[in-house]
Amino acid sequence: MNFRLLAATGGFFAAIISSLAIAGAIYPIDRAAILVGSKFDFKVEFDGIVDPASVRVTVNGVDHAQVLGRAATLIGNEDQSGASALVLRDVIISKPGRYEIVASDGKQTMTVAWEVFATGPRKAKNVILFIGDGMTVANRTAARILSKGIREGKYLGKLSFDDMPHMALIGTSGVDSIITDSANSMSAYSTGHKSSVNALGVYASRSKDNLAHPKVETITELIKRQTKMAVGIVSDAEIEDATPAGMFAHTRRRADKEIIAEQLFFSRADVILGGGSAYFTSDKAGGKRKDGNNMIALFKGDGYAYASTGAEMKSAAADPKTTRLLGLFHPADMDGALDRLYLRKGSVEKYPQQPDLTEMTRSALEVLSRNKDGFVLMVEAGLIDKYSHRLDGERSVYDTIMLSNAVQVAKDFAAKRNDTLIIVTPDHTHGMSLVGTIDDEQKGDDMREKVGVYEQAGYPNYPPADANGYPPAVDVSRRLGIFYTNAPDHFETFRPKMDDPFTPAIKDDKGAIVPNEKYASEPGAIAMTGNLPKTGPRAATEGVHTADDGVLTAMGPGAEQFKGFMDNTEVFRAMVNSLGLGQVANAKAGKTIAVKK
Ligand SMILES: [Zn+2]
């Protein structure tokens, strides 16, 4: 069975059929929700070479060209795969409603249905979307304990996003898997369409060319095509990394970082702050571009102010003439809060002038708020996730505190006005849990005897947090017991990781994943058998994402849309609804047309 059965067969059978190997497909997929006036590529993949005379594709019972404005192009033998495809790029539907697409090659029939939705009038002038990459409930709990303190069961304060009036659980699964990565989960937020692991702004189709898969329009492109608003993209990871790239990029493979840097230039985002400068240059001092181009020069030539240190960023942002700002502060991922402020590990000594995410947020708001039409700003605390992959709970928690500080900057900005929607959410979760405390004063050579649970956990003895909410010492005698549910074989030290990056497992000369012996000599280290495969294509050297729901909090105009359980694509819907980006009145006024080449 190669084709989806007709929708008439019902959800149960459709679900069974769709779990089997399917050669044929229609993109956008069944149950896609599409914003009125947004662009998407339409593609039908047949299960073999078709006879052009027998191909019939209808939308709501009439030939697709009538509804989509133009006939799709038939590709007889796509990528020499032995199968035909129909492709129509840059489709726009300007009327809301249910659209049923039926594609037939004369022998077999596929059906999908789309919901094309409109939005109400604009409620918010600005939207600020904070992504705590991989932020799990334990991140929030541990950050609150460390930052605010807790006594006799009651916290002595709250994180900045704890008191937001609206909250939802977010489902993060993708087209291909219950487990997402940051590429397809961010694409869901920025396009409203589901995608697959490693894919950005496209449906992962049969195409062999990473750049030829069916594209869906990102919120950055929508804004730049339809409005005069500004867009800001801020991350402490590489700016080409999955989450920031999800704001603008279109490729099947998130690893296409050179191409993503080019797509960033063409996105016309106004404020771009982060790491990842290596993919902007070809110079011998660490440039990774192979094409000889200097993208930084290109941005400067296009009118962007450029900053490579925190001080340069602040002075560029303070200049009232600055409306476009590129800041690249590290060739790769930036360093996290614990290293920059206290431990001085990682690459802090080499790049001592990196700004904090809080400062990047402040500078981005300073520049973006010069646009009288409003803005959308995405700020990612990307290292929360990177540290959890390395089973480095302390650093992940310190960066959660940093996210709370960055959100406070946005709250202060929004408090002076009543026009800014603030959303704080993970893109997916990790298998991190806070299970008790680890008390060095307890007797025993086996570190497990020092783990206290229930009443033996008591309370940790971190020193009071500094003015920015960070305890100045993390390696205290009674500390939080943070553990990961999904890990390779590794040496568990039961201590804060003094190395950065901490590498729990490595590959041996036969390619098998083995515990990193470097940590075997730490006092009390225990060889832990992990639950992830050691060999073969499924082998993992580090902790991995989980399908557990993420917790989203929101405040400001439009925040009331967030409640109960929501799919991640509905976050896009709430944002465009708040911004009024899909008003039918505008579509009818000619702002959107049926099909645009
Ligand atoms: Zn991750």
> From the CA of 253, how far away is ligand 1's center (Å)?
15
Instruction: State which H helix or E strand residue 360 sits in.
Output: helix 357-368
Which pLDDT belongs to residue 587?
53
CA 393 to ligand 1 center in whole angstroms: 14
Q: What is the pLDDT of residue 433?
A: 98
Is residue 282 part of the annotated active site? The answer reads no
Provide the pLDDT for residue 33.
Answer: 98
**Measured in Å, how far apart are the chain's first and last C-alpha atoms?**
35
Q: Are 371 and 322 in contact (CB under 8 A)?
A: no
pLDDT in tens, the chain (597 residues): 333 333 334 444 444 444 443 479 999 999 999 999 999 999 999 999 999 999 999 999 999 999 999 999 999 999 999 999 999 999 999 999 999 999 999 999 999 999 999 999 999 999 999 999 999 999 999 999 999 999 999 999 999 999 999 999 999 999 999 999 999 999 999 999 999 999 999 999 999 999 999 999 999 999 999 999 999 999 999 999 999 999 999 999 999 999 999 999 999 999 999 999 999 999 887 899 999 999 999 999 999 999 999 999 999 999 999 999 999 999 999 999 999 999 999 999 999 999 999 999 999 999 999 999 999 999 999 999 999 999 999 999 999 999 999 999 999 999 989 999 999 999 999 999 999 999 999 998 899 999 999 999 999 999 999 999 999 999 999 999 999 999 999 999 999 998 888 999 999 999 999 999 999 998 889 999 999 999 999 999 999 999 999 999 999 999 999 999 999 999 999 999 999 999 876 554 444 333 333
371: three-class secondary structure by DSSP: coil
Separation CA 350–CA 368 (nearest Å): 30
Provide the pLDDT for residue 22.
44
For residue 51, the CA-to-ligand 1 centroid distance in Å is 44
Dist. CA 202–CA 184, nearest whole Å: 9
Q: How far apart are CA 78 and CA 81, in angstroms?
A: 6
Around ion ligand 1, residues with a beta carbon closer than 5 Å are 385
Predicted pLDDT at 23 = 72
Q: Are 505 and 488 in contact (CB under 8 A)?
A: yes
Instruction: Give CA 63 to chain center in angstroms.
Output: 37
Measured in Å, residue 354 CA sits from the centre of ligand 1 at 22
Angle CA(529)–CA(532)–CA(538) in degrees, nearest 5? 145
How big is the CA angle at 484 (ends 479 and 490), to the nearest 5 degrees?
95
Alpha helix (H) ranges present in 369-440? Answer: 383-389, 393-415
Tell me what pLDDT residue 479 has. Answer: 98
Distance 490 CA to ligand 1 centre (A): 19
Per the DSSP assignment, residues forming a β-bridge with 437 are 452, 480
Per this entry, what is the length of the chain? 597
Q: What's the CA gap between 590 and 111, in Å, rounded?
A: 30
pLDDT of residue 586: 59
Question: How many whole angstroms from 542 Cα to the centroid of ligand 1?
Answer: 10
| CA of residue 242 to ligand 1 center, whole Å | 9
Where does 329-447 show beta strands of DSSP type E? 375-381, 420-425, 429-430, 432-439
**pLDDT (0 to 100) of residue 5:** 38
> Which residue of the set 104, 182, 190, 396 is catalytic?
182
Which whole-number Å values give the CA distances from 344 to 173, 274, 390, 395, 404, in the listed order?
37, 19, 18, 12, 22
Q: Quote the ligand 1 centre to 552 CA distance (angstroms).
A: 18
